[in-house]
């Protein structure tokens, strides 16, 4: 895309010269915004059993991953350059085991002028990375996949 094309486009995250910029959301009306995301990490049967029995050397994998996801959601603007700092009012991260591995889900809510989908995705991604970190000594075949936004909503106040 040439700089001429950029001047005529409606891309909100680039300026007239094609340089990245943070979008000005100040004209928007604050709304209740919620986003939910999910993802999965495949684990060996041995790893699943060690987690269930709380015998992983690094400690309680599921609780640690959930806390890491909460922390990550709060740090999203520090990690993703064009994300706005938001006053988050609620974060929920849940990591559960099944017979193939661990599923992570996250929900983030705020009253603001822009959405919280990046915060929900960051929460899930970091929760799964934490599972990976805590299990890497015993499981060399883990795979993180299917991280996705489930939904996002905005409601007038």
pLDDT of residue 10: 60
pTM given for the model: 0.90
In this prediction, residues 85-109 reach a mean pLDDT of 98
pLDDT value at 33 more than 90? yes
pLDDT value at 24 more than 70? yes
| Integer CA distances (angstroms), 155 to 35, 98, 105, 147, in order | 12, 34, 22, 25
Q: Which residue among 133, 139, 151, 156 is the active-site one?
A: 133
Say which range, 6-15, 28-37, 146-155, has the weakest mean pLDDT: 6-15
Region for 101 from its dihedrals, namely left if φ exceeds 0, alpha if ψ lies in -120 to 50, beta otherwise? left
Q: What is the DSSP string of 31-86?
A: EEEEEEEEEEEE--HHHHHHHHTT--TT--HHHHHHHHHHHHHHHHHHHSTTPPP-
Q: Contact 76/83 with Cβ under 8 angstroms?
A: yes
pLDDT of residue 112: 97
> Which tens digits make up the pLDDT trace of 111-152?
999 999 999 999 999 999 999 999 999 999 999 999 999 999
pLDDT value at 3 more than 70? no
Residue 149: both structure tokens together: 């936004």
- The answer to whether residue 60 is catalytic is no
Pick the CATH number of 25-156 from 3.30.465.10, 3.30.70.640, 3.40.50.300, 3.40.1110.10: 3.30.70.640
């Amino acid at each position: 895309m040439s700089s001429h094309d950029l001047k005529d486009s409606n891309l909100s995250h680039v300026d007239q010269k094609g340089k990245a910029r943070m979008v000005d959301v100040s004209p928007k009306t604050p709304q209740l915004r919620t986003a939910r995301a999910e993802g999965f990490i495949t684990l060996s049967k041995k790893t699943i059993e060690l987690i269930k029995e709380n015998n992983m050397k690094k400690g309680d994998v599921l609780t640690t991953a959930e806390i890491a996801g909460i922390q990550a959601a709060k740090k999203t603007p520090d990690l993703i350059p064009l994300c706005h700092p938001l006053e988050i009012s609620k974060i929920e991260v849940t990591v559960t085991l099944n017979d193939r591995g661990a599923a992570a889900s996250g929900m983030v809510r705020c009253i603001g002028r822009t959405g919280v989908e990046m915060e929900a995705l960051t929460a899930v991604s970091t929760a799964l990375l934490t599972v990976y970190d805590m299990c890497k000594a015993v499981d060399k075949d883990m795979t993180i996949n299917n991280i996705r936004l489930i939904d996002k909503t905005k409601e007038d106040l």
